[in-house]
């Protein structure tokens, strides 16, 4: 008999005894009268009880990547319905140490790449990509990786899927930079792409990815059907790394990706073709707010709806304040190239995401490591969702 079964039986026996105890009251003479009562025993619950999720998740469901700073060995991905007034917590996946996550759209699978040790906190290291069933959240396969995956605070662009989602790309750091290529259908490692001086993964076209480089340029690697490099192309330098570097986070509207800079520029890059095309950049901080020195600040500082960009902003920005978090989120029209709304954050903000569909909800990882859910147009706070006292959801993803 398992521990769970023993506990369940003990609990049922205890409850049965309680409901069958005689009721005692006080008579007029001060003596007690006992009135025996009888009740039917509670039915035994079946073990185990397993519920399943839908194959296609509703637009209001998001993935909160809990790095679990209190116990870094045990990160997780929590599935949350941010539109629900109750039972928001839909399930979780293990993400090991410094895990990264992607959800497939072409098949009912979820992917987490992580690091684990054979003795939990020591022993043989294994880097692995675990494949989960989207409906049951049970592991249905795994791909053992070279032990070199990049272990940093969760970044969406450390792990990406290409084109038809057959190939997955995982960033490595030894400190040499490279990308492991895995075949998610055959479930095996098929290659490695060296990316000297360049980091992070931005899917480009159907069979390529681009990476930002330390010299302020971007390089694109075109892969063949087997995941080997077929060609590569490098842009000219377009980032002044010393003066105003770009965040590696980006939001996408209309197929164009937008990268904010530390001081408030927005750089547009088109990844729809076979190689990255650097487009124009523009300043999105209004002239009348320049004196307040507003700057982007936080972790996952940018998100996007179908038509607007959203950026976490903080006043009085200084060198080194780009990770401190912000007090507002600015809505930016990328066509008009200007800020159109300011949304005040009731509990501050570190990371943001916008739900799919219309209207979009703005999900904010606040300063207390809970999730604030706001109307993306009015900024009205709809609810605050806690994932547990020790949770640290540094990134919220919608896919």
pLDDT band at 40 (very low <50, low <70, confident <90, very high): confident
Beta bridge partners of 364: 352, 372
Position with higher pLDDT, 345 vs 45? 345
Beta carbons within 10 angstroms of residue 327's beta carbon: 17
Residue 297 reports pLDDT greater than 70:
yes
Residue 44 reports pLDDT greater than 50:
yes
Q: pLDDT tens, 233-285?
A: 999 999 999 999 999 999 999 999 999 999 999 999 999 999 999 999 999 99
CA distances for 387 relative to 166, 321, 361, 365, angstroms: 32, 27, 18, 11
pTM: 0.87
Which residues, including other chains, have CB under 8 Å from residue 2's CB and lie 6 or more apart?
none
What distance in Å separates the CA atoms of residue 172 and residue 254, rounded to the nearest whole number?
A: 30
Quote the radius of gyration of the chain (alpha carbons, Å). Answer: 26
Greatest extent of the chain over all pairs of C-alpha atoms, in Å: 99
Which residues, including other chains, have CB under 8 Å from residue 188's CB and lie 6 or more apart?
143, 182
When pLDDT is averaged across residues 176-201 and rounded to a whole number, the result is: 97
What distance in Å separates the CA atoms of residue 361 and residue 382, rounded to the nearest whole number?
A: 9
Whether domain 50-397 has CATH 3.40.50.2300: the reply is: no
pLDDT band at 32 (very low <50, low <70, confident <90, very high): low
* Residue 3: predicted pLDDT: 35
> What does the block give as tokens for 321?
């304040």
pLDDT band at 38 (very low <50, low <70, confident <90, very high): low
SS3 letters across 353-369: EECCCCCCEEEEECCCC
Residue 385 reports pLDDT greater than 50:
yes
Share of the chain above pLDDT 70, in %: 90
CA 50 vs. chain centroid, Å, equals 25
The per-residue pLDDT of the chain, averaged, comes to: 90
On the CB side of 143, CA atoms within 13 Å amount to: 24
On the CB side of 260, CA atoms within 13 Å amount to: 30
Comparing CA positions, the residue from 171, 54, 195 lying closest to residue 102 is: 171
Position with higher pLDDT, 37 vs 329? 329
Q: Which ranges of 283-357 would DSSP assign to H, the alpha helix?
A: none
> Burial of 29 by CB count in 10 Å (0-12 exposed, 13-18 middle, 19+ buried)?
exposed
Residues 302, 249 contacting (CB under 8 angstroms): yes
* Residue 43: predicted pLDDT: 87
Share of the chain above pLDDT 90, in %: 83
Position with higher pLDDT, 170 vs 22? 170
What distance in Å separates the CA atoms of residue 92 and residue 113, rounded to the nearest whole number?
A: 15
The domain limits of the chain are 1-49, 50-397
CA distances for 93 relative to 62, 74, 396, angstroms: 13, 10, 14
Q: pLDDT tens, 333-381?
A: 999 999 999 999 999 999 999 999 888 999 999 999 999 999 999 999 9
* Residue 226: predicted pLDDT: 87
* Residue 4: predicted pLDDT: 39
Residue 19 reports pLDDT greater than 80:
no
* Residue 42: predicted pLDDT: 85
Please give the backbone phi and psi of residue 304, each rounded to the nearest 5 degrees, phi first.
-150, 140
pLDDT band at 50 (very low <50, low <70, confident <90, very high): confident
What distance in Å separates the CA atoms of residue 237 and residue 362, rounded to the nearest whole number?
A: 34
* Residue 146: predicted pLDDT: 97
């Amino acid at each position: 008999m398992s521990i769970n079964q023993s506990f369940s039986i003990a609990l049922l026996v205890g409850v049965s005894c309680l409901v069958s105890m005689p009721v005692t009251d006080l008579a007029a003479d001060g003596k007690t009268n006992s009135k025996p009562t009888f009740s039917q025993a509670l039915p035994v619950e079946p073990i185990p009880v397993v519920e399943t999720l839908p194959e296609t998740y509703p637009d209001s469901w998001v993935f909160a990547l809990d790095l679990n700073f209190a116990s870094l060995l045990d990160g997780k991905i929590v599935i949350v319905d941010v539109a629900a007034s109750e039972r928001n917590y839909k399930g979780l996946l293990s993400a090991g140490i410094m895990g990264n996550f992607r959800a497939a759209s072409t098949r009912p699978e979820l992917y987490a790449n992580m690091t684990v040790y054979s003795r939990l906190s020591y022993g043989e290291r294994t880097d692995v990509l675990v494949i989960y069933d989207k409906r049951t959240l049970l592991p249905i396969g795994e791909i053992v990786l070279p032990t070199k995956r990049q272990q940093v605070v969760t970044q969406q662009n450390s792990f990406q899927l290409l084109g038809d989602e057959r190939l997955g790309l995982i960033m490595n750091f030894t400190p040499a930079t490279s990308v492991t290529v895995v075949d998610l259908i055959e479930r095996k490692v098929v290659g490695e792409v060296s990316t000297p001086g360049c980091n992070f993964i931005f899917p480009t076209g159907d069979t390529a990815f681009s990476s930002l480089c330390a010299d302020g340029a971007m390089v694109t690697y075109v892969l063949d059907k087997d995941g080997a490099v077929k060609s590569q192309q490098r842009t000219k330098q377009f980032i002044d790394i010393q003066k105003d570097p770009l965040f590696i986070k980006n939001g996408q509207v209309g197929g164009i990706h937008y990268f904010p800079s530390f001081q408030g520029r927005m750089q547009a890059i088109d990844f729809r073709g076979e190689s990255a095309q650097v487009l124009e950049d523009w300043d999105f901080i209004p002239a009348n707010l320049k004196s307040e020195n507003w700057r982007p600040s936080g972790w996952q500082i940018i998100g996007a709806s179908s038509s607007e960009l959203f950026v976490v902003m903080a006043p009085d920005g200084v060198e080194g304040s780009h990770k401190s978090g912000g007090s507002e989120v600015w809505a930016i029209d990328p066509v008009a190239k200007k800020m159109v709304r300011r949304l005040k954050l009731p509990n501050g903000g570190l990371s943001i995401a916008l739900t799919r569909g219309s209207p979009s909800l703005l999900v904010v990882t606040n300063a207390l490591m809970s999730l604030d859910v706001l109307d993306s147009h009015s900024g009205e706070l709809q609810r605050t969702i806690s994932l547990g006292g020790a949770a640290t959801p540094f990134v919220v993803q919608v896919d």
